[in-house]
């Protein structure tokens, strides 16, 4: 019988949380040398050159304890904040920096760091991360007041210890939280955090769109179910059942939720109208994308748009403060379903045992 993601109850250990603080498989080979800027977008080349220079600064001899003490007295460490649309190479540059810098460094998404603080306690997390040369934060977002206070304080304390912090986001630092909660009430904290960063604005077109991947491809339900039954390590879920299960699993555990999954099959996919369902599904899509897990999906109403899921997120959702998150998810989901279709028709999937 094919396993379902909704049957899984991941409970990653602290050791697992720490081990996961590395770049995801999709970006394991990302290097500054193979980041290819779009010639029509000078900001991409500028960002590459600045990140390259920053890597050289961090790789320079640090001079032992006395030099570290002098750095602390001279002021907090500066970091880089890469802002721009989705698919312009921010994560590629971030992971390239991680690989270019020697010494102890950590890499995680925003939600992975908030979960780590929850598991360790704030001070212990600061002490642990404070031993790093570099802390990389991908998908930096402030979605609620609690996360705002926690992450702004974490960044200040790590910076005060001389730790370089580099983050990527779809939102400029001073605009974090806009349209999501009463960000003006936390303006002082947000601005104090933003002062620690040099902002690099990276323009460009989503590279997945340049590759011709623009639509979320859907298949007949019977074909999705048959595919799931024929593949080792595949999972099969109804869309609504999966959404219900995601409520009971913390988003920081979505990576563990898809451990050893070769392809995720989802039937009955339909449009979403509420943020609570949509945002959890966005995180799942991000983890599937990071781990290069193909998706094969069918629609709840295939007759409405044969072969293509036209509107996953409602117009109201797309007009909200989370618009960029939703658009990124659509782009990544299109890529994942394209990979799923290629896997299905390649004839390379292993027979189920």
Residue where the block lists tokens 């999709």: 26
325, 229: one domain: yes
Where does a domain end: 190, 205, 220? 205
Confirm if 204 and 41 have CB atoms less than 8 A apart.
yes
Domain coverage including residue 319: 208-346
* Interacting residues of 153 by C-beta distance below 8 A, sequence separation 6+: 122, 189
Which among 155, 273, 323, 296 has a CA at the least distance from the CA of 226? Answer: 296
- The total domain count for the chain is 2
234, 97: one domain: no
pLDDT of residue 310: 64
Which among 321, 320, 304, 315 has a CA at the least distance from the CA of 270? Answer: 304
pLDDT of residue 70: 44
Is 24 among the domain residues?
no
79, 165: one domain: yes
Is 2 among the domain residues?
no
Separation of alpha carbons 222 and 282, rounded Å: 25
Is 10 among the domain residues?
no
HSE, CB side, 13 Å, CA atoms: give it for residue 326.
22
Q: What's the pTM?
A: 0.83
DSSP count for the chain of H helices, then E strands: 15, 8
* Interacting residues of 336 by C-beta distance below 8 A, sequence separation 6+: 285, 288, 289, 293, 294, 295
Confirm if 125 and 157 have CB atoms less than 8 A apart.
no
124, 171: one domain: yes
pLDDT tens, N- to C-terminus, the chain (353 residues): 789 999 999 999 989 989 999 999 999 999 999 999 999 999 999 999 999 999 999 988 765 554 454 445 456 777 998 888 777 889 999 999 999 999 999 999 988 898 889 889 999 999 999 999 999 999 887 666 677 778 888 988 999 999 999 998 876 555 554 444 344 444 556 666 677 888 888 988 766 555 545 678 899 999 999 999 999 999 999 999 999 999 999 888 999 999 999 999 999 999 999 999 999 999 999 999 999 999 999 998 765 554 666 689 999 998 887 888 888 899 899 999 999 998 887 765 544 43
* Interacting residues of 48 by C-beta distance below 8 A, sequence separation 6+: 32, 35, 37, 93
254, 339: one domain: yes
Q: State the CATH number of the domain containing residue 124.
A: 3.40.50.300
């Amino acid at each position: 019988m094919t396993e379902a993601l909704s049957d899984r109850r991941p409970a990653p250990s602290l050791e697992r949380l720490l081990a996961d603080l590395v770049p995801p498989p999709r970006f394991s080979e990302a290097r500054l040398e193979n980041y290819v800027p779009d010639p029509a977008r000078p900001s991409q080349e500028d960002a590459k050159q600045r990140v390259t220079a920053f890597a050289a600064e961090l790789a320079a001899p640090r001079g032992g304890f006395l030099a570290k003490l002098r750095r602390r007295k001279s002021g907090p460490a500066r970091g880089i904040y890469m802002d721009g649309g989705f698919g312009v190479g921010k994560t590629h540059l971030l992971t390239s920096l991680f690989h270019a810098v020697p010494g102890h460094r950590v890499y995680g998404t925003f939600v992975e760091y908030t979960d780590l603080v929850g598991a360790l306690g704030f001070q212990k997390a600061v002490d642990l991360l404070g031993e790093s040369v570099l802390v990389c934060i991908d998908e930096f977002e402030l979605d609620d007041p609690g996360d705002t206070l926690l992450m702004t304080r974490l960044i200040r304390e790590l910076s005060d210890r001389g730790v370089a912090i580099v983050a990527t986001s779809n939102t400029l630092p001073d605009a974090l939280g806009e349209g999501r909660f009463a960000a003006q009430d936390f303006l002082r904290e947000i601005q104090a955090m933003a002062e620690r960063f040099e902002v690099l604005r990276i323009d460009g077109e989503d590279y997945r769109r340049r590759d011709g991947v623009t639509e979320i491809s859907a298949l007949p339900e019977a074909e999705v179910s048959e595919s799931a039954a024929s593949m080792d390590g595949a999972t099969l879920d109804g869309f609504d059942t999966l959404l219900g299960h995601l409520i009971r699993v913390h988003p920081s555990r979505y990576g563990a939720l898809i451990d050893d999954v070769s392809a995720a099959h989802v039937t009955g996919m339909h449009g979403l109208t509420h943020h609570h369902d949509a945002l959890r599904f966005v995180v799942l899509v991000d983890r599937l994308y990071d781990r290069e897990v193909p998706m094969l999906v069918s629609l709840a109403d295939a007759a409405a748009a044969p072969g293509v899921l036209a509107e996953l997120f409602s117009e109201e959702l797309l007009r909200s403060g989370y618009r960029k998150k939703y658009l990124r998810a659509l782009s990544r989901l299109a890529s994942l379903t394209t990979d799923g279709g290629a896997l299905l028709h390649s004839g390379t999937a292993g027979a189920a045992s």
